[in-house]
Chains A and B, each alone.
Chain A
Amino acid sequence: MHELALCQALIDQVDRVARQNSARRVVSITVSVGPLSGAEPKLLEHAYAVAAAGTVAEHATLHVETVPVTVRCRTCRAETAAAPNRLLCGACEDWQVDVIAGDEMLLQRVEIETADEPAH
């Protein structure tokens, strides 16, 4: 279960964004994760609760967007969906394909709360 290490890396980045933008708190965090990244969305959510405790992200909601695996065939150029353990072209069944989505693990956006002092 390396998801705790992933969440700690995630919160380091969120912490940096919050400081750079003078956030009072973080409202939500959106990440996108493909099955070929090796991260399991459910485990990320569990680990996040542990990793976020006592940090800027303590009360923030984590949104995990899962990105399906998409391959592009080197033979027929078709772009099709594929299972992580069956990376074959959905059109011609060739196994010479490039993964064009589904192996990413990205921090997409951070929603923060800031405060403006009224002009006197």
Chain B
Amino acid sequence: MCRDCGCSLGPSVARAPFAPPSTASKHAQVHVESIEVITKILDANDRVAAHNRGHFDAHRVVAINLMSSPGSGKTALLEATIKALQGELKVAVIEGDLATENDAARIRACGVPAVQIQTGNACHLDAQMVHDALDELPLAGLDVLFVENVGNLVCPASFDLGVHRNVTLLSVPEGDDKPAKYPVMFRGADLALITKVDLLPHLEEFSVERARASLRHVGFAGQVIELSKRGGTGFEAWLGWLRDEVASRRAAAA
């Protein structure tokens, strides 16, 4: 049972082995029929995602999914954001990684709650994993919940987690053509952050203009913010975007 709302959604249960109906005798007439189904393959995930969104809305929490390739600065951005918002917004983090508690430990060291999901070999988070993590994370009193997805530009793009916003990071050392290489990920983002722009003088092959054009070509229509290391260029714009998200969700809930 879901501890938060008492509904019947619990941890995922393995399906029972299939046994064909035992009534068929050797005289039975066997025939083949075609059944039109037409459902989303990820229908079950989408339903859990909607359920998660219901939890976030009920607690007036803005939920934000951070996605990028490994090493583009998701955890560092969270650390800087948590420090900057101390005393202003209450933040918690769900961390997704294949192994280790390292990222959750870094977040806890900033003084906010963090739950680590260890996905084992899974290359993405899904809505059920986030729902399970919510059992360990009280939403009451929170303003913003960040979900730091597994570092991967492919798999996380296919799974709705029930968050309100998807933010995708693209760091300068990765190259300005990343959106063209991973269109599904960048197309699904609401905000794109070009990180590590303080490295631009050393990496002349990266053009911010080309990165922006590449984003447009995959159908990304959101805002692009350029960020340098902790607290530098663009950081205020990022905080402004976050504050606007919190304010507009509060206004919608009022």
Contacts and interface: CB of A to CB of B under 8 A. Distances in A.
Interface of A: 1-2, 5-6, 9-10, 12-13, 15, 17-19, 21-25, 27, 31, 36-39, 54-56, 84-88, 95, 97, 99, 104-118
B41 A10 contact: yes
5 contacts: A36-B183, A87-B187, A95-B217, A107-B41, A117-B23
Nearest to B18: A56
Contacts, number: 142
Contact of A13 (B37, B122, B180, B218): B37
A83 to B, nearest CB: 9
B15 interface: yes
Interface of B: 15, 17-18, 20-21, 23-25, 27-45, 122-124, 126, 154-155, 157-159, 179-181, 183-185, 187, 214, 216-219
A112 B154 contact: no
Nearest to B23: A117
A84 B129 CA distance: 29
Contacts of A99: 219
B159 A84 contact: no
Main secondary structure of the interface of B (DSSP, over half): mixed
Contact of B217 (A36, A86, A113, A116): A86
Contact of B33 (A97, A105, A112): A112
Contacts of A2: 122-124, 154-155, 158-159
A2 B179 CA distance: 19
Nearest to B29: A116
Contacts of B21: 22, 24, 115
A25 B217 CA distance: 45
Contacts of B25: 117
A55 B219 CA distance: 39
Given A55-B18, A117-B23, A118-B27, A108 B180 contact: no
A86 B218 CA distance: 6
